[in-house]
Structure 1
Amino acid sequence: MVDTLEMGGTERMSINIAKVMADQGFESHLVVSRRSGGMSSKVPREINLHFLEKKNSFDFGAFMRLLKLVRKFRPQIFHAHSTSVFWAIGIKILSGKFQLVWHDHFGLSDQLDQYPRKEMVPLSKWIDKVITVNDKLTSYWRGNLPLKPEQIITLKNFPFLILPKTTKNTKFTFLHLANFRAQKNHFNLIQAVALLKERRKDFEVVMVGEIVEKELYESILNRIKEENLSDFILVKGPSLQVEDYLACCHAGILSSDSEGLPVALLEYGLAALPVICTQVGDCDKVISSDQYGYLIPPSDAPSLADAMEKLLGSSDHGEEKGRALKQKIEVEYGSAAFFSAYSSFVSAV
C-alpha cells in the first residue's frame, strides 16, 4: 500500500514534501499533471514519478489515468496542491478510501476579498484536512469552510537545496527568482534599477522564472529596453539550474505585490544571500528584523533602490545578514520541523 501520493500544482513544494516522505520511510509517489520538462527532472530517485500528460482541465483520459493510479497503489494519504484539488475531489468521489489533504499555496493572500474562491465551500465536504502556507489563509478558511478549526492549519514551506561549488560573479549581482506573472511586480524592480543606476554602475540584476504570462513577459523586456537598462538587467527566463544562480549571485530580491510564503525567499536564505523583499504575506516572519535582510513596502521603487544601495555599499554587512538568515531558515523552516508538525496534524482525528 502506498503511504502518500502527491499531486503537484506547485512543483517545488510537491517535490520537497514527496522527498521528505520518502526520507522518512514512506512509499512516496509524485503525480505530475503535465510533462513540462521543468522541475520533474529534479525529482530524486527514491520518489515514484508518474505523468498524466494532461492537456487541459477537462482531459478525461488524463483523469482516468490518475484514477487508475489511485486504484492500483491505494494511497493512505492523497496530497493535492493548489488547483489539483479539483481532480483529487473527483477521484475521492469515485474511489475515496484515502485521506485528502489540500495544500493551499494561494499567492494572493493579501487580496482574498477579491478572490474569495467560494466554490471551495461545497467542495470541502470531500476534503479531510487543509494545509496553508500562511496564517491569513488559515484564518480565512477557518471562517469560511465547514471544517473543524483543527483540520485547517498553517505549515511553513520549506526548501531543499544543494549548491554547486562556484565563485561569485565579478559584478555585484542581485537575483530576482520569481515567475513572470503580475503579482511578482517585475516593473517595480525595473523602476528601482533605473533609479539606482543614476547613483551607481557597479551592479546587475538577473531575473529567473517561468514565463507564466507571456504578454507580461514581453512587456517586461520592452520596458527594460525603453529604460536603457539592458546592461543592468539580464532576463534569463525559466531555468533548471536555479542552484547555479543562487551560488554565484550576491543578494536576493522579491518585489512582489502579494505572496503566501515564497519558497524563493527560503532558498535565498539557504544560499546565505542577504535579502530585500516586500512586506507581503508571511515574508515578515522570515525577515523578522534587520538582522536577516531588508523589508520594504510593496510598489515602492525608491525604497527598493535604497535597500539595494545599502547592500552595494557594504558587502561584509550583507554577508553577515546572509549567514544569520541561513541559520534561521535551517532551524525554523527545515524539513524536520515540517515533518514533525505534519505528522501530528494528519494523525489527529
Structure 2
Amino acid sequence: MKVLQLIDSLETGGAERVAVNFANSLSETEISSYLCATRHEGLLKIGVLKTVGYLFLNKKGTLDLKAILRLRRFIKKEKITIIHAHSSSFFLATLLKLTYPKLKLVWHDHYGKSEFLFQRPKLVLKLCSLFFNHVFCVNQLLVQWNKKHLFTKHISYLPNFAVINNTPKQTNLKGEEGKRIVCLANLRPQKNHEFLIQAFKEVLNTYPDWTLHLVGKDFKDLYSEKLKSLIKTLDIEEHVFIYGSCPDTSQIIKQATLTVLPSISEGLPLALLEYGLMAKPTIATNVGQCQEVIINNQTGILIASNDLEAFINAIKTLIRDQDKASKYSNQLLEHVTMHFSQTSIINQILKVYRRFA
C-alpha cells in the first residue's frame, strides 16, 4: 500500500504538522509513505524523514494544469493508491481522482473555526465530496457538519497526535528563566492573542518580572499590526515578545514555565498535545475538543472563552501555587501519552486505509 499526504504548504500550522507527522509515522509501518507540498514549502520540511518520498509541486494557481499533470505522473510512477488530502488540498485531490479514477481519496477536515461553521462555504466541498472515500474530522462538531452537508458515507472523528520535535534548539526565549508564559499559535484572530495580551497586562500588576512569548506565524497583516499596537499602547514591550514561525517548537516549550491557548475556536489543537508531551502546566479555553485534553482541575485549567477575569486568575493561580502547577503538568503528560499516542492514532488510520486494499 502506498499513501500520499497532500498539503498546501509546510508552514508551521496545525494541519501542516499533522500531515508531516502522518507521513513520518506511516513510513515506520508497512506503508510506503509520501508527502506532497503543493504551493509552498516551509520550516516543517526539515522535519520530514528521509524514509518519506517527498515532492514539492510549486503550484501557482487553483487550475495549474502543468502542476496537476506533474503530480499525476508522480502518482502513476510511484504507484500510489491512496491520497490523504488535508484541508483545502481536497480540490486538487478531486481533480486527480477524476483523471485517475482508481485512486482512493481520504479527506482530512482540519477546519479551525468550528464554532462558526454556519459561515463556512460549502458548495465546492459538497460537490467534491462525491469522490471522497472517507473523511476524517478533528472534532465532533465537524463530524456532525460533514454528515449533514457532504455526500460521503464514511465520516469519522480522528484525534490529532503530537510528537516531540527533535529539531535542535535555535530559539532562545527572552525574559527570566522560570517566569515565562508561552502561547504556541499562529497569529490569527481565532487564536485570541489580543485577549491574552490584555490578561497578561493585569498579571504584570502582581508579577512584574514575568514575560509572555507568542510563537507562531506572523502574517504581517492587520491583525498582527493590531496586536503590536496593543502591546505598545499597554506599555509592555519589555514583557511581550513575538517570534514568528520557529522550527524548534519542543525546545521552545521546554523553556516555558506556563503554557496557554486562549482560542475562541479550535479543532483539537496540536499545541495542547505538545504542551502535554513536554509536561507543562497549561491553561486553555473550552472550545472545540480542548476539554478532551485539558480536564479542568485535573490536567490543567479550562475556562470559558473570553472570560478575562477567569483567565487572569488561572495564570496567577499557577504562578502562585507551584505544587498545583506541577500536579497538573504531570497529569497532563500522563493523559496525553495514554489517549493521544502516535501508535493509537496511526492504527485508526491504517484500519481505514486497509478497507481500500
Task: Provide the TM-score with structure 1 as the length reference.
Answer: 0.94
User: Structure 2 vs 1, CA of residues 288 and 135 (structure 1 numbering), >3 Å: closer, same or farther?
Assistant: same
Equivalence for 2:118: 113
Equivalence for 2:155: 152
1:100 and 2:105 matched = yes
1:44 and 2:43 matched = no
Residue 281 (structure 1) aligned to one of 288, 309, 312: 288
Q: Secondary structure at the match of 2:330?
A: helix
Structure 1 position 117, deviation (Å) = 1.9
After TM superposition, the structure 1 stretch with the greater mean CA deviation from structure 2, 309-318 or 265-274, is 309-318
Aligned-partner Cα distance in 1 for 2:351–2:112 = 26
Residues 284-295 of structure 1 aligned to structure 2 (within 5 Å): 284-295=291-302
Residue 136 (structure 1) aligned to one of 115, 118, 141: 141
Q: Are the counterparts in 2 of residues 164 and 247 from structure 1 also a CA contact under 8 Å? A: no
Q: Are the counterparts in 2 of residues 156 and 333 from structure 1 also a CA contact under 8 Å? A: yes
Aligned-partner Cα distance in 2 for 1:273–1:122 = 43
Q: Secondary structure at the match of 2:237?
A: coil
Which segments of 5 or more consecutive residues in structure 2 lack a partner in the other structure? 9-14
Structure 1 position 165, deviation (Å) = 9.5
Equivalence for 1:264: 271
Structure 1 position 202, deviation (Å) = 2.9
Instruction: Give the aligned residue type for 1:155.
Output: L
Instruction: Give the aligned residue type for 2:125.
Output: M
Q: How big is each residue's C-alpha offset from its partner over 1:242-286, in whole Å with a ceiling of 9 and x where there is no partner?
A: 122111111211111100011111100101011111110000111
Q: Secondary structure at the match of 1:97?
A: coil
Q: Are the counterparts in 1 of residues 295 and 301 from structure 2 also a CA contact under 8 Å? A: no
After TM superposition, the structure 1 stretch with the greater mean CA deviation from structure 2, 207-216 or 156-165, is 156-165
Count residues with an aligned counterpart. 346
Instruction: Give the aligned residue type for 1:5.
Output: L
Q: Are the counterparts in 2 of residues 163 and 247 from structure 1 also a CA contact under 8 Å? A: no
User: Structure 2 vs 1, CA of residues 163 and 246 (structure 1 numbering), >3 Å: closer, same or farther?
Assistant: farther
Equivalence for 2:94: 89
Equivalence for 2:246: 239
% identical aligned pairs: 29
Q: How big is each residue's C-alpha offset from its partner over 1:73-114, in whole Å with a ceiling of 9 and x where there is no partner?
A: 121211000000000000000012221000000001111112
Aligned-partner Cα distance in 1 for 2:323–2:166 = 21
Structure 1 position 162, deviation (Å) = 4.0
Moved over 6 A (4+): 164-168
Aligned-partner Cα distance in 2 for 1:137–1:62 = 30
Equivalence for 2:67: 62
Structure 1 position 207, deviation (Å) = 0.2
Structure 1 position 224, deviation (Å) = 0.5
Equivalence for 1:225: 232
Residue 193 (structure 1) aligned to one of 173, 192, 200: 200
Q: Are the counterparts in 2 of residues 163 and 271 from structure 1 also a CA contact under 8 Å? A: no
Instruction: Give the aligned residue type for 2:257.
Output: H
Q: How big is each residue's C-alpha offset from its partner over 1:214-263, in whole Å with a ceiling of 9 and x where there is no partner?
A: 22112211110111111221111111121221111112111111000111
Q: How big is each residue's C-alpha offset from its partner over 1:188-209, in whole Å with a ceiling of 9 and x where there is no partner?
A: 0011011111222131110000
Structure 1 position 164, deviation (Å) = 7.9
Instruction: Give the aligned residue type for 2:86.
Output: H
User: Structure 2 vs 1, CA of residues 215 and 58 (structure 1 numbering), >3 Å: closer, same or farther?
Assistant: farther
Residue 78 (structure 1) aligned to one of 79, 83, 107: 83
Which segments of 5 or more consecutive residues in structure 1 lack a partner in the other structure? none
Aligned-partner Cα distance in 1 for 2:251–2:167 = 6
Structure 1 position 171, deviation (Å) = 4.0
Q: Are the counterparts in 1 of residues 166 and 248 from structure 2 also a CA contact under 8 Å? A: no
